[in-house]
Amino acid sequence: MKLRNLGNYEPALAAGFISSFEGCRLSAYKCPSGVLTIGYGHTKGVSEGDTCTKRQAEDWLIDDIRETQALLAHYVNVPVSEGEFVSLVSLAFNVGVGALTKSKLLRKLNSGDRDGAAEEFLDFDLANGKRVAGLTRRRKKEHDLFLLESLKAQLPNIV
């Protein structure tokens, strides 16, 4: 398994995973946290009544992933696998990079505790202080993908 710096992956690698959870809505709506959103979780500059095309939504998704990746790359100090990249960017895309900057997840990852970092995904399933079933499902999928990649990274050391 190849490990790379988080900033060296193509944002499109995470688009399918993220879009499967975000879904696509071509009219502005309020997400469970009360934030105006459009397309695939796009929140920047959204106003009540806004609409977009499917193509705009796809372009915004890649741009938003790229921005999330660039911000997050400043805080991830270890090389990551493709699956770890997708999991980390998906989480940061959904909860915001700021929520991760001082998290146990990043502390564990940066100290080499990948298994411990994977478990921390499961703690990010609240919206307005309440557990949300959709977020719990998403965090479990991120956790599983991250852990699978972590296990693959350890296999050469086990054999």
**Residues recognised as catalytic:** 22, 31
104: DSSP letter? H
Cα atoms found within 13 Å of the Cα of residue 94, Cβ hemisphere only: 28
78: DSSP letter? S
Distance CA(59)–CA(81), nearest Å, equals 25
42: DSSP letter? B
- 46 vs 7, 31, 96, CA distance in Å? 27, 12, 16
**Length, in residues, of the chain:** 159
